[in-house]
Amino acid sequence: MPRQIGFLIFPDFQLLDAAGPLGAFEIAGRYVPGAYSLKVMAAEPGMVASSAAAGMGAGALDEDLDTLVISGGIGASQASKDPATKAYIQRVAARARRTASVCSGAYLLAEAGLLDGKLATTHWARSAELQKRYPKVRVEADRIFVRDGAIWTSAGITAGIDLSLALIAQDLGEDIARKTAQTLVVYHRRPGGQSQFSALIEMGGQGGRFAGLLDWMREHLDQPLTVDQLADRAAMSPRHFARAFAAETGMTPAKAVERLRLETARERVEASSDPIDRVAETVGFGDPERMRRAFLRAFGQPPQALRRAARA
């Protein structure tokens, strides 16, 4: 049974706020046929003009949804004042598995009372205004996206793609989310923010001088992966290798190893039932406490919290 994903738009919506997430789910559906049924909706069905003048065809509002994704844009403030739209969002949120907003779409969620007492984010330029207008919302302006229970919010415009990749990962697994990101030519998990992280794509894992080495590293994370070992694998002297690797990838070999371990550990923490100490051992952290500290630095949460969130 396909998951019903509804995309709510309104006059003067931001085109990419809708098209980005729509495209991400569509591409994920290519890898898992039948996974999703996508529908663009508006309070007044028909051709809806975006703030860029280009329009998008929309059907009638649908309440039988797995996930509702609300676009943002300069028309968000006006749309949030519509009593019918507000009531619709409240009804759907009470039934749907997830409700999400892109950029200033957070205003529609806030007006519906769905962000009261919750962590949320929006475009950095509108964060202060959102906090002032809705003081019960716990706004985190530096986040790419935030999940608080069944409510997800994202930062400006292209962050809607980051949000969608996280939703896809929750539905279909990290591998499908990664493949979707590669097709879109975007980060799997964009660097920056407490919950964001990327590894192979950011480090040039899809091409470049050390592509093969990076793939090999990811398959041998349980080994020490010292500079000497990696340099020998690359047939280079340790000093030359360290300089060349940093110039190519933008980080030291040690940092690259940690990031690959973190990416793999997070996937196993969220997708498997393996004990945390076993995950730490198999990805090369060894000590669970060492992995916990690394998770806190990269994601802002310990492994156990990410596992609970993934299964909520």
Q: Which residues are catalytic?
A: 103
10 Å Cβ neighbour count for 139? Answer: 24
What is the three-class DSSP state of 255? helix
Q: In the beta sheet, which residues pair with residue 56?
A: 48
How far is the C-alpha of 182 from the C-alpha of 199, rounded, in Å?
Answer: 12
C-alpha count within 13 angstroms, C-beta hemisphere, residue 12: 9
**CA pair distance 87, 203, nearest whole angstrom:** 45
- 8 A C-beta contact, residue 153 and residue 123: no
Terminal CA-to-CA distance of the chain, rounded, Å? 21
Give the whole-angstrom CA distance, residue 199 versus residue 193.
Answer: 15
- Cα–Cα distance, 153 to 293 (Å, whole number): 26
Backbone angles phi and psi of 297, in degrees to 5: -65, -40
**161: nearest Cα among 309, 306, 16:** 16
Maximum separation of any 2 CA atoms in the chain, in Å: 68
